[in-house]
Structure 1
Amino acid sequence: MTEIRIRAATRGDIAFLVDANAAMALETEDKPLDRERLTRGVTSVFADARRGFYRIAEHEGRPVGCLLVTYEWSDWRDGDWWWIQSVYVMPDARRLGVFRAMYAQVEADARATAGVIGLRLYVEWENERAQRTYAALGMTQEHYHMFARPFVALT
């Protein structure tokens, strides 16, 4: 069994987080991100805990994956959903259980945190492998479609 260590990200991980986010956007949506803006965005999470937190997965002493957790208040349930976002696993570490380990840690942390009502994430319709992974972890597909009206372009 491959040992994957999950830890809280620190400011020292900003370069890795920026690289991972840029790689994920290029891989999944063929979108090159403005690295200066992305660096400001990642750094902002460390400047204001209300924005969320990052987790880093390490294998053999090096970072191989990351994710961001953000919050959504639910007035219906009187609690916070934790949204899993910006998930990335380095290509050479895929199929080693990196996401599964990160998810397990986030779920344990969420269950141990008062006021957290559950976990959510979004996935592209075409990403069937990820959808199977999420289902295998006990997540179910919601009945919502996502709509957006961006005010800032990514590039």
Structure 2
Amino acid sequence: MSLQIRPARAEDAGLLARWAQAMALETENKILPDAEVLPGIARGIAEPSLARYFVAEQDGVPVGTLMFTFEWSDWRNGLWWWIQSVYVPQEFRRRGVYRALYAHVRALADADAGVCGIRLYVEKDNHAARSTYEALGMQDAHYRIYEQDTRPTGAPKA
């Protein structure tokens, strides 16, 4: 399978929103509301200072996506790139789609002296994803993630 990786475009937002919804339902049994996810992805594509989205294509057909965001590290005087919003439709899994997306992002990171590393978080029971990431050389960073939603009560939550 010959894959091409390209930056996401504004017209990809609808597809990427559907894939984000499918991923959230599949991995966390969460329903992401259209009113939040579609504008969020459209904004992320439009504002590369917030996020960078990529689409993997086979013969011009989208077969997967990956997005990364940025975290400043004062310890390292550099940026961590956080991989998020990874999705490959079931019919294209185990064909190297994520591997190609990751290799693309890794090459971009390696070429940018301001990037100190790549991180991602994974649902703790998603063993298939964890083994994929480990096969690519990623390691468990031994951190736990804590969060607190700051939206008003009643606001949609992801």
How does the TM-score come out when normalised to structure 1? Answer: 0.95
CA shift for structure 1 position 48: 2.1
The residue identity in structure 2 corresponding to 1:132 is S
Instruction: Indicate the percent of aligned positions where both proteins have the same amino acid.
Output: 47
- State the match for 2:157 in structure 1: 154
- State the match for 1:53 in structure 2: 52
The residue identity in structure 1 corresponding to 2:157 is L
In 1: Cα distance, 2:46 partner to 2:99 partner: 28
- Determine helix, strand or coil for the equivalent of 2:36: helix
The residue identity in structure 2 corresponding to 1:95 is R
CA shift for structure 1 position 4: 1.4
RMSD of aligned residue pairs (Cα, Å): 1.1
The residue identity in structure 2 corresponding to 1:57 is A
Paired residues of 2:8 and 2:45 also in contact (CA < 8 A): no
CA shift for structure 1 position 61: 1.8
How does the TM-score come out when normalised to structure 2? Answer: 0.93
Consecutive unaligned residues in structure 1, runs of 5 or more:
none
Structure 1 outlier segments of 4+, above 3 Å: none
1:69-84 mapped onto 2 (5 Å cutoff): 69-84=68-83
Consecutive unaligned residues in structure 2, runs of 5 or more:
none
Aligned residue pairs: how many? 154
In 1: Cα distance, 2:24 partner to 2:157 partner: 10
- State the match for 2:37 in structure 1: 38
- Determine helix, strand or coil for the equivalent of 1:33: coil
Paired residues of 2:53 and 2:65 also in contact (CA < 8 A): yes
CA shift for structure 1 position 114: 2.5
CA shift for structure 1 position 52: 1.3
CA shift for structure 1 position 113: 1.4
- Determine helix, strand or coil for the equivalent of 1:51: coil
In 2: Cα distance, 1:48 partner to 1:130 partner: 28
Deviation string, structure 1 residues 83-130 (Cα, Å, up to 9, x no partner):
000100011101111000000000001111130001000011111111
